[in-house]
Structure 1
Amino acid sequence: MRIVILTIGTRGDVQPFMALGLGLKAAGYEVAIATQANYQSMVEGLGLEFRLLAGDPQGVQQQSGAYSKETVAAAAQLLGQILKDSWAACQDADAIVASPNARGATHIAEALKIPCFLGSPTPYGFTQAFASPWFPPNFMLGGGWGNWLSHYAVDKLLWVATRKTVNEWRISDLGLKPLSWSSPYKQLVRRGQVFLHPLSEVTLPKPADWPEQAHLTGYWLLPEAEATLSPELEAFLAAGEPPVFIGFGSMVDQEPERLTAIAVEALQKSNQRGILLAGWSRIDRSQLPDTVFPLESAPFGLLFPRLAAAVHHGGCGTTAASLQAGLPTIITAYGNDQAFWGKRVAELGAGPSPITREGLTAETLATAIAQAVSDPQMRSRAQAIGERLRAENGVSKAVKLLGDYLAAGTSS
């Protein structure tokens, strides 16, 4: 059986599906991952088949917040091409696994009459338990039905923005009827769509009002058994107390030099050594003292357990990695779902209150770092969460659930 995985976005969005792909391949499935060109070498390096979808996620991050008539038109054009690429990528599929941001998956499954499974590293589903991770974090919703309405509003607004492009593609390429204005999520639930989310109930209990066929499998993390740290990084780690990690992943900061200066000053104010990850921003190495190690990339599974704390943007993948390592975690949210995870980490007692990018100064960061490295209750809570997460195997659970649904002939 051939399973095609459709996924787009930042590395934190895409990497869990690579981990799932490896698990499916080990279980005997033929697997192809259709994603964007940025990830081709990584997918193929894992021994998985790569298929191309349009778009440059780094370019999208660089243009984030720039809204105009031209950018809206460009986004619609890009979505149209992604849909066409997705259709081409799935022609030999027996089943599809996809993230919701790969908009075409359920439509393609409908046209080909094959099973489709959706999985999102960010909570996806209407609930009264918490507000939509994509809703403005400072908007007063009042909980309960206010939370539910935030999910509905985000789902509806996204459908308003994409409906014309999707329906044109459904008619011209898939030979399907156009869809109504009704909420896409509600349509999926009505027809019994199965959700396999790479999320853990350790960090986010499943809401009671989510459908039975929505599963939180545990995180989908890539194995790092053969990974190593560079000799230079090993020497830095051995030269003193465990350092603090600071990195903002796929976020592109408009002031990278100022961000570096803030990070260095905060480490000095809190009397900590540090590791500074470049990600998609730039680091001016001339700004760094000997107590701060610059890093282009590293396997988090090996690095994080050797650190004192982690400061990052709150992306779903990095949050999973720092919590699994049992690290006190400080989240500086740039946007997207990051404020949601920052609030959730603080609620779990595994880190201080999140800092917004606008509120990030050397003083606010130094205060948070000092709390994270010195609060014994916070460290104990983070370590307990890490132990429970390390006992899970989200990929194995997802593969078994998928196999069970396929055997029963149900998925959507």
Structure 2
Amino acid sequence: MINTVYTYDGIVNGFRRMRAARRELSDNELDLSLTRRTMKIGIQTWGSHGDIRPFLALGEGLQRAGHDVTLVVTSPDSACDQLASTAGVRIRVVASPVIDAAQTEVVANMAQGMKDPMKQMATLFRMCFAPAEDAMFAAARALAAESDLLIGHYVLHPLQIAAEQAGKPYVSVMLSHAGVPSAYNHPLQLDFLGKAGNRVLWWVTKLALNGVLKPYANRLRREQGMPLTRDVVGEVWLSRSLTLVAVSPQICERQPDWPETVQVCGFLDMPNIEVEGSVPAELEAFLAAGAPPVYMTMGSWMPRDRVWQRETLQWLTDAARLAGCRAIIQSPTWQDCGFARTDRVFYLSASPHHAIFPRCAAIVHHGGAGTTQSATLAGKPSIVVAHISEQEHWGRELGRIGVAPRLLKRRTATAAALAKRIGEVTADMTSQALLVSAAMRQDRGVETAVALIERKFGRTT
């Protein structure tokens, strides 16, 4: 595989494309100023924190633009706790948490132990989605009845079905570009196969995805007397009206063969929320006492079980020692696992990533979309330790743009291997990360998404 790294000219051209796109959106916004109508907008999402926060950010952007927004959320875990909107978005929590803490551990360990991404997806849907599917569909139908426009997480066939049933327009939001087929690329990044090879890979990929996901969508469709889904990717994941790819254009370049209904808007981010807190005095002192540390977090994939959490903490601590670096290690109940802070390692339960990441040397993380964005936006190289295939995709993408060494897989990663990857973070990667960060800060994903939605649906008839 040949890795493509951004050049200075590439970054400059990226800025130019972005400015042109924003000028075009601004022109369209001006055109809409006399004809824009306010809409009742229903948004629905399912998943962990990284699947909820982008939709809350989009909802708040639409609410501030004058629309009346309701957000329906279902989470397998406790990600809905303390969820609130400062802009006045109504939030409804449905069937959450889907599973308890003990089941969450079982699912996580089953998924990360599987090499086959389709088996991973099948496990996650069977255990974390299916138990809430009927409740989510009931909530989706209620949302469709009261809304002019529906916006959903791309996997939410219940909302797509409800929108079709009610005859309401539907917008799909992709949190990763890995799910948009193209002859120009494939998530496996086997570029040497060319366009013909990518078409074959996508045919095989869609065949496998349909085998896992079609039964869910078609059960509901059959019960509603509706035509059955033939292709989950083309009929559920991608909306015929508008699909927003919520990824920075610095990472995701729009492909020439994507339909016009698929648009890259940038990451959907929002200001720090209160529950993330501020930097505590003890951490401020640690940051000031030596060289910038390496921040280590496995996010929602950090085990809650004390035995597994202790093993993971020891693995990260040993990696920091072998790499000879100072480290900040995030773990929910590190004190109960018997660890104590030193002048080399600072353990914490949670932190405001936006405030701490810019002060670190590099970020070790699991490759979740949210943490990937936070690390890259902070201008820091990443070391990705992937637990599932989606996270492997983000690790490969960060490597492709030159801000991360080759990813590790959690099921095989050792402390020595992680220490080696930390040592592979070079000055060139740091410089490249700063360039990409500077470009990302111009994205304005929420503003772009709102403008695209209003341009498509916000005109009066």
> Under a length normalisation based on structure 1, what TM-score does the superposition of the two structures give?
0.87
Confirm or deny: 8 A CA contact 1:251 1:279 kept in the other structure: no
Find the counterpart in structure 1 of residue 436 from structure 2: 385
Letter paired with 2:453: L
Q: 2:303 matched to 1:263?
A: no
| Structure 1 residue 249 corresponds to structure 2 residue 289 | no
Structure 1: how far apart are the matches of 2:46 and 2:255?
Answer: 26
Instruction: Give the conservation status (yes or no) of the 8 Å contact 2:169–2:241.
Output: no
C-alpha displacement of 1:115: 1.5
Shift in CA distance, 291/147, structure 1 to aligned 2, threshold 3 Å: same
Structure 2: segments with no counterpart, 5+ residues: 1-38, 112-118
Q: 1:261-410, aligned counterparts within 5 Å? A: 261-278=314-331, 284-286=337-339, 288-372=341-425, 375-408=426-459
Is structure 2 residue 83 aligned with structure 1 residue 43? yes
Q: Contact 1:275–1:295 at 8 Å: present in 2 too?
A: yes
Q: Give the conservation status (yes or no) of the 8 Å contact 1:333–1:355.
A: yes
Deviations 1:207-260 (A, max 9, x none): 222111211111111112875222222222222221111001111447322221
- Give CA deviations for 1:326-360 in whole Å, capped at 9, x if unaligned: 10111011113111111111111111111111332
- Which string of whole-angstrom CA distances, capped at 9 and with x for unpartnered residues, describes residues 267-317 of structure 1? 122221111112699972526534222222222211111111000001111
User: CA 1:275–1:285 in 2, change beyond 3 Å: closer, same or farther?
Assistant: farther
In structure 1, C-alpha distance between the alignment counterparts of 2:50 and 2:190, rounded to whole Å: 26
Map 1:123-202 → 2, pairs under 5 A: 123=177, 124-132=179-187, 142=193, 144-172=195-223, 175-180=224-229, 182-187=230-235, 192-202=240-250
Alpha-carbon displacement from aligned partner over 1:100-139 (angstroms, at most 9, x marks no partner): 122222211111221111111111211123324xxxx599
Displacement after TM superposition at 1:15 (Å): 1.3
Give 3-state SS (helix, strand or coil) of 1:119's partner. Answer: strand
In structure 2, the CA distance between the partners of 1:45 and 1:129, relative to structure 1 (3 Å rule), is same
Distance 2:161 2:267 in 1: 26
Cα distance between partner residues in 2 of 1:216 and 1:280:
38
Identify if the C-alpha distance between structure 1 residues 279 and 209 changes in structure 2 by more than 3 Å, giving closer, same or farther. farther
Distance 1:216 1:330 in 2: 25
Q: Distance in 2 between matches of 1:190 and 1:271?
A: 46
Q: Does 2:96 correspond to 1:52?
A: no
C-alpha separation between the residues in 2 aligned to 1:365 and 1:157?
32
Is contact 2:70-2:91 (8 Å) kept? Answer: yes
The residue type paired with residue 210 of structure 1 is W
Cα drift, residue 197 of structure 1: 1.4
3-state SS, counterpart of residue 73 of structure 2? strand
Residue identity matched to 2:400: E
Pair 1:88-2:139 in alignment: no
- Do the aligned partners of 2:59 and 2:71 also contact (CA within 8 Å) in 1? yes
**Residues 392 and 140 of structure 1, relative CA distance in 2, 3 Å threshold:** closer
TM-superposed CA distance for 1:164, in Å, is 4.1
Alignment-mate amino acid for residue 357 of structure 2? F
43-52 or 104-113, which deviates more? 43-52
Residues 189 and 231 of structure 1, relative CA distance in 2, 3 Å threshold: closer
Shift of 1:400: 0.6
Indicate the SS of the match to 2:399.
helix
Partner of 2:264: 216
Instruction: Give 1:38-117 correspondences, 5 Å limit.
Output: 38-46=78-86, 47-56=88-97, 59-60=103-104, 62-64=106-108, 65=110, 76-117=130-171
Residues 140 and 220 from structure 1, CA distance in 2 versus in 1: closer, same or farther, beyond 3 angstroms?
Answer: closer
- The answer as to whether partners of 2:213 and 2:232 remain within 8 angstroms in 1 is no
Deviates more, 1:76-85 or 1:298-307: 76-85
Q: Secondary structure at the match of 2:299?
A: coil
Supply the distance in 2 between the matched residues of 1:299 and 1:72 (Cα, whole angstroms).
30
- Confirm or deny that 1:229 pairs with 2:279: yes
Alignment partner of 2:244: what SS? Answer: strand
- Distance in 1, Cα, partners of 2:107 & 2:333: 13
Alpha-carbon distance between aligned partners in 2 of 1:380 and 1:297, rounded to the nearest angstrom: 28
Deviates more, 1:376-385 or 1:161-170: 161-170
Distance 2:372 2:287 in 1: 22
Question: Following TM superposition, by how much is the alpha carbon of 1:403 offset from its aligned partner in structure 2, in angstroms?
Answer: 0.5
Measure the CA separation in 2 of the matches of 1:359 and 1:162: 28
* Contact kept? 1:55, 1:82, Cα under 8 Å: no
CA drift at 1:150: 3.9
Aligned partners of 1:96 and 1:117 also within 8 Å: yes
CA shift at 1:155, angstroms?
3.8
SS of equivalent to 2:198: helix
Alignment of 1:2-21 (within 5 A): 2-21=40-59
Is the 2:61–2:447 Cα contact (8 Å) retained in structure 1?
Answer: yes
Q: Which runs of 5+ in 1 are unaligned?
A: none
Q: 1:12 to 1:202 in 2, by over 3 A?
A: same
CA contact (8 A) 1:18 1:33 kept: yes
What SS does structure 2 have at the residue aligned with 1:204? coil
Q: Is the 2:74–2:136 contact (alpha carbons within 8 Å) kept by the matching residues of 1?
A: no
Give the whole-Å Cα distance in 2 for the aligned partners of 1:105 and 1:83.
7
Of 1-10 and 80-89, more deviation after overlay is shown by 80-89
Cα RMSD (Å): 3.2
TM-score between both structures, scaled by the size of structure 2: 0.78
Name the CA distance, whole Å, in 2 between partners of 1:76 and 1:153: 25
Range that drifts further, 31-40 or 354-363: 31-40
Structure 1 counterpart of 2:243, which letter? F
Aligned-partner SS, 1:311 = strand
